[in-house]
Amino acid sequence: MTPAEGLDLARARDLQGRARHPWVRRLLLALIAVPVVLAIAGALGQATVTRSAASPRAHLELSAPAVLRGGLMWRARITIRARAAIEHPRIVLAPGYVNGMQFNTIEPSPASEAARGPRLVLSYDKLAAGDELVVYLQFQVDPTTTGRQDATVALDDETLPLARIVHTITVLP
């Protein structure tokens, strides 16, 4: 069989002069694989960190991710251990829990919800010394949200501050 007129067999079949082309393709494929490998390794979000704060009256613990991606569903767990009676426990959430997030659910449901400036306040029933309250919050990041969000959590007895955990969430594009 004869090659078609104008076809250079050395270049088309034997790849002469094109020795670098396979390496360029391999490099481009490797660049595409980098975000996949980083996501598998947990470097692109949703790895949970646990932080805590304590006072003579209560121990407050927050378990939540520090890095998220747009569109991602995630949860936070807030644990309160009362060391002394807390008549009016209030969990005060920073604006980062609401701005650029869809608030899906709170379990157990608070007795009431209110705003304190840009902060969301969740009110619960009295906690006796030794009681534990675990609150689960579920969210979804709005796809257009990026940057750092203040996700500080505070525990108050009505308006008296008991404990505070400073937390920041970084939303990757």
pLDDT tens-digit profile of 98-149?
A: 899 999 999 999 999 999 999 999 999 999 999 999 999 999 999 999 999 9
Q: Provide the pLDDT for residue 3.
A: 66
Contact between residue 145 and residue 70 where contact means Cβ atoms under 8 Å apart: yes
Domain 48-172 sits in CATH at 2.60.40.3670
Distances from the Cα of 137 to the Cαs of 63, 83, 113, 147, 161, in angstroms? 10, 23, 14, 21, 21
Q: What is the pLDDT of residues 8-50, one digit of tens each?
A: 777 777 777 776 777 888 899 999 998 888 877 777 667 889 9
CA angle 53, 57, 59 (to 5 degrees): 30
Q: What is the mean pLDDT of residues 58-62?
A: 97
| pLDDT at residue 55 tops 90 | yes
In this structure, what DSSP letter does residue 57 have? S
Distance CA 124, CA 158 (A): 10
CATH 2.60.40.3670 domain range(s) in the chain: 48-172
